[in-house]
Amino acid sequence: MDTFLLTLTGPPRLASALAQMLKDDGAHVRYSPPVERRSVVDAAQEVVVQLTVNGVTASVAAAIYRFRSRWPGVNVAGGPEHSIVERLQELQDLHDDGVISDAELAEHRSRVIGEV
């Protein structure tokens, strides 16, 4: 098991979404959820939350990848970085496991290759 210090910058409600995705993949997550106000005028638009994550590197990377795919405008820093080959293999594995469709696989492959 490896330990990562992740920093999420985004809407308050997404801190718990990221934590849950990591937990679903078997990681142990520690963080202090942001306190949200219910007033529309005073509601936080963006927060910075640090999460300490203990887990298998590939599982943590897969959870972060799914999170980034679902909320592409939200920044998650500090996770494990993977090579292009590893990222493409993870996509193929997600497809083989039925997590993503043929169209999603093609779209995400194009994004990864486009980053080169």
Percentage of the residues of the chain whose pLDDT score is greater than 70: 87
pLDDT exceeds cutoff 80 at 44 = no
Task: Residue 12: give its domain's CATH number.
Answer: 3.30.70.260
Residues 75 and 98 in one domain: no
**Which amino acid type is present at position 87?**
R
- How much is the pLDDT for 28? 96
Q: Do 7 and 63 fall within a single domain?
A: yes
Which range of residues forms the domain containing residue 23?
2-81
How many domains does the structure of the chain reveal?
A: 2
Distance CA 99, CA 28 (A): 22
Same domain for 12 and 33? yes
**Same domain membership, residue 31 and residue 73:** yes
Query: What pLDDT is attached to residue 116?
Result: 55
